Chains A and B, each alone.
Chain A
């Protein structure tokens, strides 16, 4: 039996969608892990949020000052800023300008 172009196309798509994505995510997360380990070998802590995620966390803290988890959120937010200010190597893509603009909440 000769396979049709449609069957071969679906086979290739399925392999790319599943094995391609699974391999990409495995390689990406293992590389990130390697980078984190490398950073933590040189300094005792590092940034914990990306610029986008930290900005969203800050907005939420400001919009929900009475939330029962707001203190925990503040601690996490400020911890990230401290790490950014006090360490040289960063995990996320932060520019010096962005860090200078950051304020604790």
Chain B
């Protein structure tokens, strides 16, 4: 039976909360996607579009999500119940939970990739004589047993951190890992910028092609980056916000700092990566091709390349691992509250389930890519729609702003915020889902996405109708976080 749940945990320090937000939001996308997307979409023109969308959508959205967690002091399902009352509609929280579990099931094998390359960077494999990047990556991706093994190590390590609780586990990890990532990228930037030919990388990334500002594709790319990179509406900000202390601010730290800070790491990654890539004359790329081929080819060519590889891959691993820990915490927090199991039992159960569900993605990178596309384009926007929709249309943005956002706040948030939450963000989410359905009409990915959009709400509604109807739910299990 569960051990006693006596008091809900809180972040030990303000810095811990801020680093948890950044650690959760900065992931693979900031490192291997953002720099290339920026360079390919007009450089400076993309930056302007991205900045506008960050302030229009991500900053207000994150404020709302953190505020809901702060107001209810509960995980996703509990927060939805507080707003909607008992009943099947609480199943909207189940959608968020299911999407998070699905997301982590294919993100964990990806963390395994970064772990593998981090270990090899420490062994100076990439600068060894006769090393070839492409065959190395192909051999690695073809080794399913190794992939599953790495996925197992990752989920085991995530569980170990979460077992320690919010303060001693999550907070202690992020307060060191996030600054370490920034320092690693900063050192790599200095190394890159001092190489002959580095200016071409700067020109690729920061050159301004104003014409791109008038192209729809630039705004779609900026929109995707602004929403998916900041993790808006995935339940992460809600969960992290639910552990805030009595006098903590929401809008300055949870909104502005989180959105701009995590994007700043993408900018730093661009400065760290492309000067080095261009200095050596390697073609720029995105995704695994950039991190595991282009960059790996670069390291032997530059002075101190072995050490630069260590900085990059250890930093890359920290970025993905901290995201994995906080994404998993979303389910752990909610299920600890919603069931009679202890945090320890919940951590083991959730991590075990994610491990099991992640085996197909670890076995085959194609399955991982498929799930990434399906959940990236439909699952995650659906979760965002659930959270922001409930805030905008049930709780009401004005109430939330007056009662929570502006209480103990570091900045004052005015009335402009209300229509953004109520109309703009939900409309953008519906647009994204429709846009990608149109773009990929009839494809297996689109069919998978439609199944998620239809089945997840039905499952959520059905499960909560049964559970809430039975009068189930937490008795004394209103407490989570582990260590206080």
Contacts and interface: CB of A to CB of B under 8 A. Distances in A.
Interface of A: 1-4, 6-7, 10-11, 13-15, 17-19, 21-22, 25-26, 28-30, 32-33, 36, 40, 46, 48-50, 52-53, 56-57, 60, 67, 69, 72-73, 76, 91
Contacts of A53: 402, 406-407, 409, 412
Nearest to A58: B402
Interface in B220-268: 247, 249, 252-253, 256-257, 260-261, 263-264, 267-268
A72 B403 contact: yes
Given A14-B267, A29-B14, A32-B249, 5 more contacts: A6-B44, A14-B47, A26-B257, A26-B261, A29-B253
Given A1-B197, A53-B406, A36 B247 contact: yes
18 contacts: A1-B197, A1-B199, A6-B207, A7-B202, A7-B208, A10-B47, A11-B202, A14-B44, A19-B267, A25-B260, A28-B252, A28-B410, A29-B249, A29-B410, A32-B249, A32-B410, A49-B407, A56-B406
Contact of B207 (A7, A17, A48, A52): A7
A92 B200 CA distance: 49
Interface string B391-412: 0000000110011001111101
Given A21-B256, A30-B15, A60 B44 contact: no
A46 B257 contact: no
Interface string B190-222: 000000010110110011100000000000000
Given A10-B44, A10-B47, A30-B14, A1 B407 contact: no
Contacts of A30: 14-15
A73 B197 CA distance: 60
Contacts of B257: 22, 25-26, 29
B83 to A, nearest CB: 10
B402 A57 contact: yes
A53 to B, nearest CB: 4
Contacts, number: 109
Nearest to A31: B410
A67 B399 contact: yes
Contacts of B256: 21, 25
B247 A46 contact: yes
A76 to B, nearest CB: 6
Contacts of A29: 14, 18, 249, 252-253, 257, 410
A80 B14 CA distance: 22
Given A26-B18, A60-B398, A7 B206 contact: yes
Given A46-B247, A67-B399, A1 B261 contact: no
Given A36-B247, A69-B399, A17 B51 contact: yes
Contacts of B249: 29, 32
Interface of B is mostly: helix
Contacts of A22: 257, 260-261, 264
Interface of A is mostly: helix
A73 B403 contact: yes
- Find the residue from A1, A6, A18 having the highest chain B CB count within 10 A: A18
B43 interface: yes
A17 B55 CA distance: 12
A44 to B, nearest CB: 11
Contacts of A17: 47, 51
A36 B13 CA distance: 12
Given A26-B261, A29-B249, A32-B249, A50 B406 contact: yes
A21 to B, nearest CB: 5
Contacts of B406: 49-50, 53, 56-57
A1 B263 CA distance: 28
A90 B78 CA distance: 34
Contacts of B18: 26, 29
A48 B408 CA distance: 5
Contact of A18 (B43, B199, B260, B407): B260
Nearest to B261: A22
Contacts of B268: 19
Interface in B38-63: 43-44, 47, 51
Nearest to B406: A53
A7 B203 contact: yes
Contact of B208 (A10, A19, A25, A48): A10
